[in-house]
Amino acid sequence: MTVRAIRGATQLERDERDHLFERTAELVREVLAANEVTTDELVSILFTCTPDLRSDFPAAAAREMGMGDVPLMCSVEIDVAHALPRVVRLMAHVNLDRPRQDIRHVYLHGATVLRKDLAQ
């Protein structure tokens, strides 16, 4: 079995806990669905947020989705001038027997500008 990394990002309209949870859950669901992955195949998920998001942890949203047994970690994204604001990113590590080129990365809402070549 090979461990593959799946990237994704979403942009929030505002820094509010419920909105953060909604957008994070949507991102996680879309990443799993796009790659036909179950939570049993997840090794871990690393979330990052831009420094302007402080209402809660994206990992708390994933735990609320039932991922309490998946190792989850949050970090603050580098505060780069002119960076896209209010962005949650993830990198999911997954046990998959498929080539890297078959992995589908997911970029939602305003975050589609981050990777126009990969956005859905």
Query: Annotated catalytic sites, by residue?
Result: 7, 63, 74, 77, 89, 107, 115
DSSP states of 1-22 as a string?
-EEEEEEEEEE-SS--HHHHHH
C-alpha to C-alpha distances, 38 to 9, 57, 92, nearest whole angstrom: 19, 22, 12
C-alpha to C-alpha distances, 69 to 4, 20, 39, 83, nearest whole angstrom: 19, 21, 9, 33
Contact residues for 46 (Cβ-Cβ < 8 A; gap 6+): 73, 74, 75, 90, 91, 93
